[in-house]
Structure 1
Amino acid sequence: MATPLAELIRPKSLDDVVGQPHLLGIGKPLRRIIESGHIPNMIFYGSSGIGKTTVARIIAEKTNMRLHKLNGTSCSTADIKAIVEELDTIVGHNGILLYLDEIQYLNKKQQQSLLEHIENGNITLIASTTENPYFYIYNAILSRSTVFEFKPVTPDEIRKAVTRAFSLLEQQYSQKAIVEENVVEHIAQTCGGDVRKSMNAAELCYLSANINENGEREVTLELAEMLAQKSSMKYDRDGDQHYEILSALQKSVRGSDENAALHYLARLMEAGDLISACRRILVMASEDVGLAYPQAIPIVKACCDMARELGLPEARIPLADAVVLLATAPKSNSAYNGINSAMIDVQKGLAGDIPSHLKNAHYDAETKSLSGAKGYKYPHEFKNHFVKQQYLPNELKDRVYYSFGENKNEQAAKAYRMKIIKE
């Protein structure tokens, strides 16, 4: 069975690793730790194909500890127990280095079984995860480990790796590759910062290339576009990418950058995630635009209803209308802040009895009379449909949850409020 190109080209030293200069550059923290030879418990966090496993292998080769590799998707509690049992044998006298890939798939009990041994140093844990470790890894493991975040590799760095990949393929198959202009650039740009994807794309392009009369493989841009066209779409509806794109969409709208907002909407549309896009856009209409332009709320609702009715790909059109409208509209989060402040009081138990004049009038069987609502003043019977009376419970009667925003709409409402109070 042929070894995948990504495995053949895997770096053997830190200097050969593609990307991660913030961690592995000369004098950078992770590099200094590795070169010191004193390896602490570490968690490598980042998307797939950006060097986490490679760096862990390099570390393993630099230590004299016994190496074990497990994958969280397939290992069991028995597998972990078998490793622990080695600590009392001659093979484990120098300690054990456990590389645990995809640690987020281990349940709490499995993670806890490692605690005692990583704390006393008998087992040194290097774990990797594609999900946010602060959400998916047991806190006691986190507190005993150092988290290093691996970043997607830049196209400039991937371009060098792709060029090297084609050279290695020529040596492996003893056939020269005629690589058309822009093929390397296309693969580097469309792999989404994933080195492994770029290697796979290069290998597919080489193996499926047409062989000319000279026995050379002709790798065309058309072929590269066909094989690598979806590589840049990293998206997992249950993972970090899902929430990061939605977060970026909302923050772009909140920051009044319609171009960035359209970009993140396009990523959601390309992933086919219509429902999440609609839900977040509806939230933004109330949370970020709110009372500064309240008409945006029904307009956006209509756009989202239309998008769901149309389905993709046409749904992108009304959603683009909604996103641009929200990004370019005036902003206010006054009502959002107001309800949050009120919720804090309620959650603290600061409620109090509802004033009697606000209670619903009902028939009391004991007194044989109507009770509740006594003393209530009906605002519509007063000038400007307003009369001053207490509405909050006594314990909270002076609370102020809502402050008028500085925008035109809320300032007009504020002016009206002051006018009817004075009159």
Structure 2
Amino acid sequence: MISPPTDNSPLAERMRPIRLQDFVGQRHLVGKGQFLSQLIDSGRIPSLLLWGPPGSGKTTLAAILAHAISARFIFFSAVLAGVKEVRQIVDQARDALSEDHRPTILFVDEIHRFNRSQQDAFLPHVENGLLTLIGATTENPSFQINAPLLSRCQVLLLTPLDTDDIIRVLQRALADAEQGLGACNLAIEDSALRILAEAADGDCRRALNQLETVALFAAEQAQHLPVWSDGDSDKTVITTDLVRQSLQQKTLRYDARGEEHYNLISALHKSLRDSDPDGAVYWLGRMLIGGEDPLYLARRMIRFASEDIGNADPQALQVALNCRQAYHMLGSPEGELALYQAAVYLATAPKSNAIYACTHHVRAVIERTGSLPVPLHLRNAPTRLMQDIGYGHGYQYAHDDRDAVVLQEHLPSELSGSVYYQPTNRGYEAVIKDRLDKWKQILKQRAQHHDQQQRKK
């Protein structure tokens, strides 16, 4: 006979490790010789932004880092607190530093929910070292975090835990008699353990919460479950059927063949890219019926509109944005019609990845060449000093030209003549391509004329 867990704290909270060697997953950060391991060895923790999905270990890593250097650790929720609380924390950090020389690590959960002015409240205290800021976000910091704050933090990317890592976490929770479920005398079938791990979809917190639910379920049905003896005690066995019963809606996103969430979203994306509306609506329907968040699907279609359609049909992005807004207003089931409408539009729109390729090309060039200066003729010259040193000198105003195109360089001299955006001949991009070709021909003729005039001189 087993007893359900009695600790009021959720299992995921009880099982939170406090040492780096007990942390599971994120090997690219916590493995031997990796970034976070080196930080702990150095005894100095810089301000960090931990960017990753729910349940990937952001809060746990922040607490581990604070514990490793004996720092004060303050948990701060961007959802529940504001600038007033920041001021109180700053005062406490200043007192702690003067009294016992202890640094303060301020962990801000969901930091992306702070607006720009609220984020600015951290800046001076991060800059002068009074606070070490560790922010956690599920959103892209490039879009959600102020540039000054972003420049003062090292961004670390966390990934969803793989199934084997989650299995290790669940096994540890079942064996731990003090913090976990070890005192409940439970065993679990291998197949049941894998189903639990896969259903968590990379989210360690979700996996532990589901395991705790299964344990409660097992306590209620212990008389109907098999028993396994390890020589010291009899353990009630959590079976595959029991796990499936307890998960119920959570398992709907996986069909009988076991496709995972990422397989399904990949199938949807590729159906859209390959201009197959039938495949697109089928995979969209599979994910909606399986319990996927409709707003997640809307976000993916917004991304698709720029990545795979771009300027071949500029309207596609607006359709995708309107789809998200429509669902947000109507909810299910009425709003799901907008998702289907958007999927069909995106699937049947002309395709181009020219914008996507352009971004990768530009990023690679910038990473290789660094911060090249803006050419003087492109700089504004609001002061006399700026005018005297050449700011804005020689700039040609395009609207003064009959074709509204001018023969002047808009890239740093080191990159003169580079081409990053190469439109296709599909959809509206064909219009853009013709327009660019026409402008290039005009500018080529003007350059030739200019060279002739210079030679005459």
Q: TM-score if structure 1 supplies the norm length?
A: 0.62
Correspondent of 2:164 among 156, 160, 164: 156
In structure 2, what is the equivalent of residue 227 of structure 1? 246
Per the alignment, in what secondary structure is the counterpart of residue 201 of structure 2?
A: coil
Give the deviation of 1:56 after TM superposition: 1.0
Q: Is the 8 A contact 2:66 2:105 kept in 1?
A: yes
In structure 2, what is the equivalent of residue 190 of structure 1? 199
Higher Cα radius of gyration:
1
Q: Is the 8 A contact 1:289 1:330 kept in 2?
A: no
Amino acid at match of 2:243: A
Q: Is the 8 A contact 1:46 1:129 kept in 2?
A: yes
Give the deviation of 1:24 after TM superposition: 0.8
CA distance in 1, matches of 2:182, 2:154: 43
After superposition, the Cα gap between the structure-2 partners of 1:92 and 1:219, relative to the gap in structure 1 and judged at 3 Å, is: same
Give the deviation of 1:168 after TM superposition: 3.0
Correspondent of 1:119 among 127, 136, 151: 127
CA distance in 2, matches of 1:217, 1:224: 13
Residue 168 (structure 1) aligned with residue 176 (structure 2): yes
Give the deviation of 1:135 after TM superposition: 1.7
Amino acid at match of 1:109: S
Residue 108 (structure 1) aligned with residue 116 (structure 2): yes
Per the alignment, in what secondary structure is the counterpart of residue 12 of structure 1?
A: coil
In structure 2, what is the equivalent of residue 45 of structure 1? 51
Give the deviation of 1:248 after TM superposition: 9.2
After superposition, the Cα gap between the structure-2 partners of 1:152 and 1:261, relative to the gap in structure 1 and judged at 3 Å, is: farther
In structure 2, what is the equivalent of residue 421 of structure 1? none
In structure 2, what is the equivalent of residue 135 of structure 1? 143
Give the deviation of 1:200 after TM superposition: 0.9
Map 1:40-79; keep pairs closer than 5 Å.
Answer: 40-79=46-85
After superposition, the Cα gap between the structure-2 partners of 1:279 and 1:92, relative to the gap in structure 1 and judged at 3 Å, is: same
CA distance in 2, matches of 1:278, 1:2: 38
Give the deviation of 1:31 after TM superposition: 1.8
After superposition, the Cα gap between the structure-2 partners of 1:60 and 1:397, relative to the gap in structure 1 and judged at 3 Å, is: closer
Give the deviation of 1:100 after TM superposition: 1.9
Per the alignment, in what secondary structure is the counterpart of residue 155 of structure 2?
A: strand
Amino acid at match of 2:125: H
Q: Is the 8 A contact 1:66 1:91 kept in 2?
A: no
After superposition, the Cα gap between the structure-2 partners of 1:109 and 1:92, relative to the gap in structure 1 and judged at 3 Å, is: farther
In structure 2, what is the equivalent of residue 208 of structure 1? 217
After superposition, the Cα gap between the structure-2 partners of 1:218 and 1:200, relative to the gap in structure 1 and judged at 3 Å, is: same
Per the alignment, in what secondary structure is the counterpart of residue 165 of structure 1?
A: helix
Amino acid at match of 2:128: N
Q: TM-score if structure 2 supplies the norm length?
A: 0.58
In structure 2, what is the equivalent of residue 271 of structure 1? 292
After superposition, the Cα gap between the structure-2 partners of 1:12 and 1:64, relative to the gap in structure 1 and judged at 3 Å, is: closer
CA distance in 1, matches of 2:271, 2:55: 28
Give the deviation of 1:25 after TM superposition: 1.0
Amino acid at match of 1:163: Q
Amino acid at match of 1:192: D
| Percent identity for Structure 1 against Structure 2 | 30
Map 1:69-108; keep pairs closer than 5 Å.
Answer: 69-86=75-92, 87-88=94-95, 90-91=98-99, 93-108=101-116
Deviation sequence 1:139-187 (CA, Å, 0-9, x none): 2111111010110000011112112222236975744324245110101
CA distance in 2, matches of 1:321, 1:113: 42
In structure 1, what is the equivalent of residue 321 of structure 2? none
In structure 2, what is the equivalent of residue 11 of structure 1? 17
Correspondent of 2:152 among 137, 144, 162: 144
Give the superposed CA RMSD: 5.0
Give the deviation of 1:59 after TM superposition: 0.9
Q: Is the 8 A contact 1:191 1:232 kept in 2?
A: no
Give the stretch that moved more between structures: 39-48 or 161-170. 161-170
Q: Is the 8 A contact 1:153 1:194 kept in 2?
A: yes
After superposition, the Cα gap between the structure-2 partners of 1:202 and 1:406, relative to the gap in structure 1 and judged at 3 Å, is: closer
Map 1:323-402; keep pairs closer than 5 Å.
Answer: 326=348, 331=351, 394-395=402-403
After superposition, the Cα gap between the structure-2 partners of 1:49 and 1:85, relative to the gap in structure 1 and judged at 3 Å, is: same
Q: Is the 8 A contact 2:276 2:347 kept in 1?
A: no
CA distance in 2, matches of 1:233, 1:45: 28
Per the alignment, in what secondary structure is the counterpart of residue 26 of structure 1?
A: coil
Per the alignment, in what secondary structure is the counterpart of residue 176 of structure 2?
A: helix
Q: Is the 8 A contact 2:19 2:68 kept in 1?
A: no
Q: Is the 8 A contact 2:273 2:347 kept in 1?
A: no
Q: Is the 8 A contact 1:190 1:229 kept in 2?
A: no
Q: Is the 8 A contact 2:351 2:426 kept in 1?
A: no
Deviation sequence 1:337-373 (CA, Å, 0-9, x none): 9xxxxxxxxxx99568xxxxxxxxxxxxxxxxxxxxx
Give the deviation of 1:101 after TM superposition: 1.8
CA distance in 2, matches of 1:146, 1:314: 39
In structure 1, what is the equivalent of residue 256 of structure 2? none
Question: Structure 2, unaligned stretches of length 5 or more?
Answer: 1-6, 228-233, 254-263, 314-329, 358-395, 407-420, 435-457
Correspondent of 2:33 among 27, 30, 39: 27
Deviation sequence 1:239-291 (CA, Å, 0-9, x none): xxxxxx9999557643679989965774356436399499769969x947969
Per the alignment, in what secondary structure is the counterpart of residue 148 of structure 1?
A: strand
Amino acid at match of 1:228: L
